[in-house]
Chains A and B, each alone.
Chain A
Amino acid sequence: MQPTDIRNPQYFHKVVDCQWGCPAHTDVPGYIRLIAQGRYTDAYMLNRQTNVLPGILGRVCDRPCEPACRRGRVEDKPVAICRLKRVAADLRDDVSALLPKAPARKNGRRVALIGAGPASLAVANDLLPLGYEVVIYEALGVPGGLMRSNIPSFRLPVEVLDEEIAMIVDMGADLRLGTPVQSMKALLAENYDAVFVGTGAPKGKNLRIPGREEAAERIHIGIQWLESVAFGHIDKIGEKVLIIGVGNTAMDCCRTSMRLGAKSVKVMARKPRNFFKASPWELEDAEEETVEIVINYSPKSFVLEAGRLTGMIFEKMEYEFDGRGRITAEKVTGEEFFPADDVVLAIGQENAFPWIERDIGIEFDKWDVPVVDATTYQGTRPGVFFGGDAAFGPKNIIWAVEHGHQAAISIHRYCQGQDVADRLPYGMNLATAKMGMHEWSYSNYYDPAERRMMPHVDLGERFKKLNIEVELGFTPEQFTKEVERCLNCDIQTIFTEKLCIECDACVDICPTQCLTIAANGAEDELRTRLSAPAQNLTQDLYVSAELPQTKRVMIKDEDLCVHCGLCAERCPTGAWDMQKFTLEVPYARDETMPPSAQARTGT
Chain B
Amino acid sequence: MSFIPKPKVAHPGIARNELGLTVRDYEGGISTLCAGCGHDSITAALIQAVFELSIPPHRLAKLSGIGCSSKTPAYFASQSHGFNSVHGRMPSVATGANAANGELTYVGVSGDGDTLSIGLGQFCHAIRRNLDMLYVIENNGVYGLTKGQFSASADVGTKAKKGEVNQQPPIDPCQLALAIGCTFVARSFSGDKQHLVPILKAAIRHRGFALVDVISPCVTFNDHEGSTKSYDFTRKHAHAATYADFVPYADEIVSEQAEGSVQAVTLHDGSRVLLRKIGADYDPRDRTAAFDYLSRHQAKGEVVMGLLYIDDSQPDLQQVQSLPEGPLASVPYETLNPGQKALDAIQNRFR
Chain A bound to chain B: yes
* Chain A positions near chain B (C-beta within 8 angstroms): 73-75, 438-439, 444-446, 448, 501-505, 507-509, 511-513, 532-533, 535, 549-550, 560, 562, 564, 566, 569-573
* A571–B14 touching, CB < 8 Å: no
A503 with B13: CB separation less than 8 A: no
Q: Is the CB of B235 within 8 A of A549?
A: yes
Q: Which applies to chain B's interface (DSSP): helix, strand, loop or mixed?
A: loop
By a CB distance below 8 angstroms, the chain B residues around A503 are 36-38, 41, 190-191, 217, 219, 231
The answer to whether B9 touches A571 (Cβ under 8 A) is no
CB distance from A324 to the nearest CB of B (A): 20
- List A contacts of B330 (CB < 8 A): none
B8 contacts chain A at the CB level, 8 A cutoff? yes
Instruction: Give B23 Cβ to nearest chain A Cβ, in Å.
Output: 9
Say yes or no: A445-B217 contact (C-beta < 8 A), given A501-B231, A503-B38, A505-B36: no
Find out whether the CB atom of B235 lies under 8 angstroms from the CB atom of A550. Answer: yes
Partner of A533 from B1, B9, B13 at Cβ < 8 Å: B13
Q: In whole angstroms, what is the CA distance A445 to B41 when docked?
A: 22
Question: Which B residues have a C-beta under 8 Å from some C-beta of A?
Answer: 1-4, 6-15, 24, 34-38, 40-41, 43-44, 190-191, 193, 217, 219, 223, 231-232, 235
| Cβ A448 vs Cβ B2 within 8 A | no
Chain A residues near B43: list those with CB within 8 A.
508
Q: Which residues of B contact A562 (CB under 8 A)?
A: 7, 9
Residue of B4, B13, B40, B190 touching A535 (CB-CB under 8 A): B13
Taking each of B13, B36, B38, B232, which has the highest tally of chain A beta carbons within 10 Å of its own beta carbon? Answer: B36
Q: Are A560 and B7 in contact (CB under 8 A)?
A: no
Shortest A526–chain B CB gap in Å is: 16
What would 17 more interface pairs be, CB under 8 Å, given A445-B4, A570-B40? A74-B9, A439-B3, A501-B219, A505-B41, A507-B44, A508-B40, A511-B9, A512-B11, A532-B13, A549-B235, A550-B235, A562-B7, A562-B9, A570-B36, A571-B36, A572-B37, A573-B36
Residues of chain B with a CB closer than 8 A to A572's CB:
34-37, 219
Distance of A575 from chain B, by nearest CB (Å)? 10
Q: Which residues of chain A are within 8 angstroms of B7 by Cβ–Cβ distance?
A: 445-446, 448, 511, 562, 564, 566
| Known contacts A438-B1, A549-B231, A549-B235; A501 and B9 CB within 8 A of each other | no
Q: Which partner residue on chain B sits nearest A533 by CB separation?
A: B13
- B8 lies within 8 A of A448 (CB): yes
Also in contact, A509 and B3, with CB within 8 A (given A502-B191, A532-B11, A572-B36): no
Complex Cα distance, B7 from A507, in Å, reads 14
Interchain CB contact (< 8 A) of B14 among A502, A513, A549 = A513
Q: Are the CB atoms of B219 and A448 closer together than 8 Å?
A: no
The residues of A that contact B3 with a CB separation of less than 8 Å are 438-439
Contact between B9 and A75 (Cβ–Cβ < 8 Å)? Answer: yes
Q: Are A560 and B4 in contact, with the CB atoms below 8 A?
A: no
Q: Which residues does chain B contribute within 8 Å of A502, judged by CB atoms?
A: 191, 231, 235
- The answer to whether A512 and B9 touch across the interface, beta carbons within 8 angstroms, is yes
Residues on the B chain within 8 Å of A550, using CB: 235
Residues of A within 8 A of B2 (CB): 438, 566, 569-570
For B38, the closest partner residue in chain A by CB is A503
Min CB distance B163 to A, Å, is 21
| Docked-complex contact A504 and B231, CB < 8 angstroms | no
A536 to B, closest residue via Cβ: B13
> Given A438-B3, A508-B44, A570-B2, are A501 and B36 neighbors across the interface (CB < 8 Å)?
yes
Residue of A504, A550, A566 contacting most chain B CB atoms (<10 Å): A504
Can you offer 23 A-B residue contacts whose CB atoms are under 8 A? A445-B4, A446-B8, A448-B8, A448-B9, A502-B191, A503-B37, A503-B219, A504-B44, A504-B193, A505-B41, A508-B40, A508-B41, A508-B43, A511-B8, A549-B235, A560-B12, A562-B7, A564-B4, A564-B7, A570-B2, A571-B36, A572-B34, A573-B36
Alpha-carbon distance between A458 and B190 when the two chains are bound, in angstroms: 61
Set of chain B residues within 8 Å of A507, measured between Cβ atoms: 44
A438, A508, A571 — most chain B CB neighbours (10 Å): A508
Given A74-B12, A571-B35, decide whether A501 and B223 contact each other with a Cβ distance below 8 A: yes
Residues of B within 8 A of A549 (CB): 231-232, 235
Complex Cα spacing A502 to B3, Å:
23
The 3 closest A-B pairs by CB, nearest first: A572-B36, A446-B7, A508-B44
B-chain residues with CB within 8 Å of residue A448 when the two chains form the complex: 7-9
Contacts of B223 in A (CB 8 A): 501
Partner of B6, one of A74, A439, A509, A533: A509
Nearest Cβ on chain B to A552's Cβ, whole angstroms: 11
- Asked if residues B191 and A504 are in contact (CB atoms below 8 Å), the reply is yes
- Report the minimal beta-carbon distance from B27 to chain A, rounded to whole angstroms: 10
With CB as the reference atom, state the residue of chain A lying closest to B1: A438
Nearest neighbor of A570 in chain B, beta-carbon distance: B35
Q: Could you tell me the distance between the alpha carbons of A572 and B3 in the complex, rounded to whole angstroms?
A: 15
Residues of chain A lying within 8 A (CB to CB) of residue B232: 501, 549
A510 CB to closest chain B CB (Å) equals: 9
Shortest CB distance B139–A (Å) = 15
Complex contact A511–B36 (CB within 8 A) = no
The distance in angstroms between the C-alpha atoms of A533 and B12, with both chains bound, is 11
